[in-house]
Amino acid sequence: MLLLRLFRERSMRQSQLIYRGSESSVVRIIRGSLGQDGNGRFVCVPGIKLWQQPRPCAWCGEPFTVKYVQAAKTRFCGRSCSAKWRMRQPEIVARVHTAEIHARIGAKVSTWLRETPKGRRHAHRFAAIKPMRIPGMRARISAILRQMGHRPPWSGGKGRGITRPQGLLLAALGAEWVAEHPVEVRPRQKIRPSCYYLDLANPKKKIAVEVDGATHYTAAVKEADARKETYLRSRGWTVLRFWNREILDWNASGRLTGSSISMTFRRFGIRLSR
């Protein structure tokens, strides 16, 4: 009996040593440490199936869960993160951003805007948006243009000389016409300049031709042009307006008699020089 008891005690001590092992041989497990692939280990929540366990999004890192077992391999928390990840892959970008795909998408969007009630509502809403009226937008665009060194292609008048379209039109109108003709403003007021300069003018017939450049698209210049035109008409002047590009195209086409510029001149009795 004594030998049997000693044998049992020895066997128990040996089994304890086998299961316990030495402290130096035990691998320490740190919660939240990285796995062999460099990704974070999933910390399972007791009582929840494996496919329902929270997992970090592969793009933003926020934890998320899936609702169906079919989505167990989902890597992203939503469509936004999935799209952002895809558009950072060069091979996907090269396959998506092509001229053919852009043209096909543009045609579909144009058809939707024209032919569907919702699309027409969106088109009217887009047309009503005035970017230059958004607070801070004008200053932002001006800063970008100054940084680019941008300036209108034709800028003249008020001591800076006449523009190329202005010179071409002056040569076509003849000797009765002058450039930068001054018209004094009476009575003088603080909100008006003391003198208006006409791009091209026939003082005898009191006909003025204004050749507008890119700066005349802005709201401030449009308002100034309206004040100038109102004053000139009140003094008996006839004011005609053309864009720089219209004058250049008209001159390059050989001053076609059927063009809008030629018909406007005939309507007001303006003869062109040969």
CA end-to-end distance (rounded Å), the chain: 140
Confidence bin at 28 (pLDDT 50/70/90): very low
Mean pLDDT throughout 124-129? 87
* Tokens at 84, concatenated: 């952002």
> Quick one: pLDDT at residue 24?
46
Contacts for 233 with CB less than 8 Å, ≥ 6 apart: 239
Mean pLDDT of 120-129: 88
The per-residue pLDDT for range 80-114, each reduced to its tens digit, is 999 999 999 999 988 888 989 999 999 999 999 99
pTM for this predicted structure: 0.45
Q: Please name the residues in contact with 46: beta carbons below 8 A apart, sequence gap of 6 or more.
A: none
Question: What is the model's pLDDT at position 181?
Answer: 86
Average predicted confidence (pLDDT) for the chain: 80
Residue with the bigger pLDDT between 207 and 21: it is: 207
Antiparallel, parallel or unpaired: β 63-64 and 55-56: antiparallel
Higher pLDDT, 75 or 18: 75
In single-letter form, the type of residue at position 98 comes to T
pLDDT at 157: 53
Query: For the chain, which domains are there?
Result: 50-86 (no CATH), 164-267 (3.40.960.10)
59: pLDDT confidence band, cut at 50, 70 and 90? very high
More confident residue, 204 or 45: 204
Residue among 225, 217, 226 at smallest CA distance from 132 = 217
> Per-residue pLDDT tens for 220-272?
788 888 888 888 888 899 999 998 888 888 888 888 878 888 888 888 888 88
